[in-house]
Amino acid sequence: MLDFYKIRGDTKVIIRSEISFRKYLLLCGTGFGLGGLLWGLVLYRELPNLEFPFHYLAIPIMALCGGVSLALPTKNLKQILKSVLAGFFGWGMGFLVSAVFSYYFYLYGNLLLVPLGYIVKVELLNKFLNLYPEIGIGDLWLVFLVVGIFIGLFHSLFLKIQKRPLMWKASVGIALGSLIGPVVGNLLGNLFNSVLISYLMTFFIMCFIFGWFLGSAIYKET
């Protein structure tokens, strides 16, 4: 069970409250998933002028939805605000760095996906890893991974939790979500012949997986 725990002298870590591990993961996944739905809706409303999935509105949306869900079990307003603020800086810095180096991350990320081309046709990969009209999601998995590193870093700094577990779990979670999300999102979107469903489900699943990974790290480290 969660309970506040001293990790650095008299400094207390964010979370430990009366909630089970499974319930906490569900809470975090749902919170981030809700943020993902809103993120997907924002992007959908930008069509057909959308070029890049890293919309500035995603920063406050994900910081609020994700930050609240991570710290809600504490029932402590100060801890919740710290969690939201950590998310704001993490998502913001992650988007900023990714925007500057996105070309290189995109290039190397695609090179690492080349082996999949021997298993599945490249045209099919592009169709299911990205969204209409050719908006990169899975192709940008390495970009998302870098974003996740910054989110994990800032949560560890603000919540005074060990950096390494949060950074690697956050980065792996959102990168994995960026590969799984569009596949499921496109399948459902094609099933119902709806681009909106593709966007909503892609980002819901991606962010749910991310919240699950980040929540598991925070729970175990506190």
Note the pLDDT tens digit of each residue in 18-45.
688 999 999 999 999 999 999 999 999 9
Per the domain annotation, does 154 fall within a domain? Answer: yes
- Phi and psi at 120, nearest 5°, equal -125, 145
**pLDDT for residue 16 is more than 70:** no
Q: How many CA atoms lie within 13 A of 16 on its CB side?
A: 13
Per the domain annotation, does 1 fall within a domain? Answer: no
**Taking the chain, what is the end-to-end CA distance rounded to the nearest angstrom?**
10
**pLDDT for residue 6 is more than 50:** no
Amino acid at 90: G
Q: What token pair was written down for 8?
A: 């650095």
Using CA atoms in the order 122, 123, 127, 133, what is the torsion angle rounded to 10 degrees?
120
Q: State residue 18's pLDDT score.
A: 63
Per the domain annotation, does 135 fall within a domain? Answer: yes
Higher pLDDT, 114 or 197: 197
Q: State residue 15's pLDDT score.
A: 56
Amino acid at 113: L
Structural domain boundaries, residue 140:
6-221
Mean pLDDT of 134-162: 92
199-216 burial string, b = 16+ CB within 10 Å, else e? bbbbbbbbbbbbbbbbbb
**CB neighbour list of residue 189: distance below 8 Å, 6 or more residues apart:** 195, 196, 197, 198, 199, 201
Q: State residue 116's pLDDT score.
A: 66
**pLDDT for residue 122 is more than 80:** no
Mean pLDDT of 58-84: 93
- Asked whether the beta carbons of 152 and 221 are under 8 A apart, the reply is no
Q: What percent of the chain clears pLDDT 70, i.e. is strictly above it?
A: 86
- Asked whether the beta carbons of 197 and 134 are under 8 A apart, the reply is no
| pLDDT (tens digit per residue) in 165-174 | 899 999 999 9
Q: How far apart are CA 156 and CA 199, in angstroms?
A: 30
pLDDT band at residue 7 using 50, 70 and 90 as cut-offs: very low
3-state secondary structure of 11: strand
Per the domain annotation, does 215 fall within a domain? Answer: yes
What's the structural domain count of the chain? 1
Is 0.75 surpassed by the pTM of this model? yes
DSSP-H helix ranges across the chain: 21-46, 58-71, 77-113, 122-129, 141-159, 163-191, 195-221
Mean pLDDT of 7-15: 41
Q: How far apart are CA 10 and CA 117, in angstroms?
A: 53
Angle of helix 195-221 relative to helix 163-191, nearest 10 degrees, comes to: 160
Q: State residue 100's pLDDT score.
A: 87
